[in-house]
Amino acid sequence: MFRPSRIKMTYNFDELKKRSAVANTSHNISNNLQPAPKHEKVPEASKNITDITRTHRTAYVIFFSLLLDLLAFTMILPLLPSLLEYYRKNDNQLYGYLANSIKQFQTWIGAPERFTSVLFGGALGSMFSFLQFLSSPIVGALSDYYGRKPLMLLCATGIAASYGIWAYSESFLLFVIARFVGGISKGNVSLCMAVITDVSNQQNRGKAMALVGIAFSLGFIAGPMIGAMFSRFSDKTGTLWFFAPAMFAMLLAVADILFLTVCLKETLPKEKRSNRIINSLSHAIDHISIRALFRFSAVQNLSQKDVRSLRSLGVTYFLYLFLYSGLEFTVTFLMYHKFGYTSIDQAKVFLTTGVLMALLQGSVVRRLPDRLVKTSAVFGLYLIIPAFIIVGLAESSPVLYLGMILFAISTAFVVTCMTTITSKYGDFHQKGTVLGVFRSLGALARAVGPIVASVAFWGVGARLTYIAGGLLLLWPALMLQYLKL
């Protein structure tokens, strides 16, 4: 006959008290649902959730710093066509030599002489971005060893110096030198991305990156307007008529230096930095080597799947910015030569597009859930296609504005969303390198895009240039749509 065995049970008094406490809690659910008294502390778990999703204070510091930088940077946009016309009429040295050098080819293809400034403007834009392409990875790698703040201050100082040189650039050569110094100091943008990555996580990184987009939008709203106001009240027949806007830009850059010195705290602690500077600098070679750049060779110890995803993202980003930057750069010359827009008229276009981008990035892009980031980037890539085709076909201001509005909607999504996607790859100490490579690909695209588009504008005109560029943008849109991350 089966006899149940006698089980000996022992009890721990402390354990019983814990179980009793749990039981009491479970039997008082209705009481727990009552509002907590004001003096009671918020549960630690709730605090942790809030901390995870809240945008870090440093992201707002970066936002304000970028805004100061971009206000100064974008002031020159409505001034550039007038500046180049000034040098065409008054500089018989470098500008005159270059104009004479291309005269035979210009006659052969039938390009109007007034479009020569478009060609030189494209060359300057490409030079600026090529120098940014060289400096961004080196600055990013050095910041992985020395920390973000010292390199941010170094870049800001170089930018301020470039505006000081511009203020006294009576000759075209000095203006070229000013752009050279500014371009090589422009590694601050990739550093801003790295700082935001340092202080954010997967839950709040999209919001933080959107602040960068908002800074760009606000910069493109106010900067061109400030430049246009200076242009309106300047006597362009006089020498150094651009002294006032250049000095104002330098004051903004100096304010940025002071702001970063006081408000920016180091975001890459010493224990998380690269161990040896030689390793960081050797990676910079991979950033400058075009083949290594597209292969993301500087980023080590990633899975094969992540490497393939990064490479595909890099190619897509390069193709997009190569076409986009060329058409974006020449639009000021399109407004100046085709529509006869003054600096104020151009500033109104930038104001319209900038306000729209800021509203979208502040209300939509910044709140995008992680699952919609890629979809939004693809949407923006498809939207840019009709935008540029409409701009190319435009014969009136309303049609031009329609194309530029579509352009603004697209721009609000693409770069921010693609940067957010890329920032997820790599360990903590590799984020600066990953984003440095990504930004370098963008800078390389911007180095090639303006000169190619300017040559096309100069040789075959704006209509064919914009229609062809718009159709070619279908390529990166399809690539990103079918990319598996």
With the CA atoms of 335, 381, 63 and 209 taken in that order, what torsion angle do they form, in degrees rounded to the nearest 10? 180
- Find the radius of gyration of the CA atoms of the chain: 27
Q: What is the pLDDT of residue 110?
A: 64
Can you tell me the distance from the alpha carbon of 204 to that of 211, in angstroms, rounded to the nearest whole number?
Answer: 11
Q: What is the pLDDT of residue 434?
A: 81
pLDDT averaged over 10-residue windows placed end to end, the chain, 485 residues: 44 43 39 42 49 77 94 90 86 84 71 75 89 83 87 95 94 94 90 86 77 84 89 78 94 96 90 75 73 82 84 94 91 88 88 88 84 92 95 94 94 89 78 76 88 88 92 94 85
Cβ 384 vs Cβ 404: under 8 Å: no
Can you tell me the distance from the alpha carbon of 91 to that of 265, in angstroms, rounded to the nearest whole number?
Answer: 46
Q: What is the DSSP letter of 339?
A: S
Can you tell me the distance from the alpha carbon of 195 to that of 217, in angstroms, rounded to the nearest whole number?
Answer: 20
For CA atoms 384, 388, 389, 390, give the dihedral sign: positive
Cβ 407 vs Cβ 387: under 8 Å: yes
pTM for the model stands at: 0.74
For CA atoms 288, 292, 294, 295, give the dihedral sign: negative
Q: What is the pLDDT of residue 277?
A: 74
Domains of the chain (ranges plus CATH)? 56-269 (1.20.1250.20), 302-484 (1.20.1250.20)
Nearest to 138 by CA among 298, 279, 285, 273: 285
What φ, ψ does residue 452 adopt, rounded to 5°? -65, -45
Cβ 325 vs Cβ 129: under 8 Å: yes
* Residues 6 or more apart in contact with residue 222 via CB below 8 angstroms: 71, 354
Q: What is the DSSP letter of 462?
A: H
